Structure 1
Amino acid sequence: MVSTSTRYQIVTNNLARTKTLIANDATVKRETEYYNKTIKTIKTVDDFVKNDRVFKYAMKAYGLEDMAYAKAFIKKLLNEGVSSSTSMANKMSNPLYKEFAKAFDFAGKGALATSAASATTEAVDRYVQQTLEQREGSDNQGVRLALYFKRKASSVKTTMGILADKALLQFVQTTFNIPQAASRADLDIQVRNLEKVLDVKDFQDPKKVDKLIQRFNVMWDMTNAPATAVSPVLSLFNQSYDQGISVDLMMSITKLRLGGN
């Protein structure tokens, strides 16, 4: 089996070509052509949600494919927009909802919302990227998480931004060997513990982001390898919280900053 690091390099070394291959896939091409032909003709939230094909394309593009069934919820989200601090989009912990409401800003732009780049060219590029990540994930979920982190890292400004995104949190937990049980702690404790092992400012540095991804890829393969494939030495570092190691101890063990390698 190809390692996570190797597959990630294959995909990213010529990302433009990889995305072109995805875009030219028969199914992707057909859906994109329909979306491009139709999106600018849609002028209201109601029409947007009613066109199931366009709506699902847009939801997938912005990482919300799993919520495409919740049309009443999304209608409320879009009708309220993002200008008010009390709007639904600004109160949601998951930043993807606000991103979607800004991309299809019917509340602020009215009928012109679907002519914006965020609803046209950017949506198509995101759809292709999402499809790429999903297909890689079907073979190796680690590659999908690495690609997702590469794409999202620079948008994360606070530690809470990690906790609000399950995929980013899984990436970080894997990278620093933090047990999932750590997520049961109070939010302020989770924030303090994460800040012991990383600084979100590093997410703005492409070199440090790549370094984190390299570490993640190795840790992913180690923690997801069959038990028979893990050496006795590595298995010492692979005990879970449920086997008796406390969250605090695990956080102490993983107290390693990027510059400390």
Structure 2
Amino acid sequence: MLIILRIQKTLYPVVTWTEETYTKMLALTNDLDEWLLRLPIQLNPECNCNNDSEQADRLRPSKLLYMDFLLARLLLSLPFVHYIALEPIEAPHYSFQISVGWSCIQVAHDVIYLAEEMIENKLLFSGHWFSMHTIFQSVKCLMFYQRLMDSSLAETNGMNVREVCKLGVQVLTCLKNGSQAGERTFDALTSLFKDFIRNTVNLSLHVKANAAARSQLGTEEEDLQWWIDRTKLEEIGG
């Protein structure tokens, strides 16, 4: 089974948070890393082409494959991005979820800079749904992070997130204006993700309140039902 389908089956929606879920996530992460390592050297995103002919043949496929890899990493960590509103010291029982949430932010950052590089090298074209969806979702994740910081709900991790968001918007605008297909794709994604930031901020507020209540009660009991209901695939996309 394709790794990305296994991610969907495991995390969308999350039925319960158990040791098995944790184990499956680690296995999926390892499988993704192994997939990247096993790519032929010609398709490795770090491969340096010897001449223009090789670049034309190999560079775009290798970068698109790397975008595919980042999309899988994004989908693997996206259901936990709202946990970045928590500090591990104040919610140690959520330390794994917090770590995965920050991983989502880093992957989103990497997607934006990969897209910028591909546009500069004329390797990314408008109207390509897969690429625009990955970039759009990454921009929304970073905008969510910026919203948390603006509301004093999250600490900075050293990333200049405002600048990365600005770059991401520029990338999307370039793709949108590149063709009618690009414009239609952009409009469809805008509709799909119109409530993403608001919904994800609400998730952050909920887990923050829940963590505070747990701290006061001194309990480690898991209570993720509200989050489970909101992390269904169609809702996390909206």
> Does the alignment reach a TM-score above 0.5?
no
Task: State the TM-score, normalizing by the size of structure 2.
Answer: 0.29
Higher relative contact order (CA 8 A, sep 6+): 2
Larger Rg: 1
Task: State the TM-score, normalizing by the size of structure 1.
Answer: 0.28
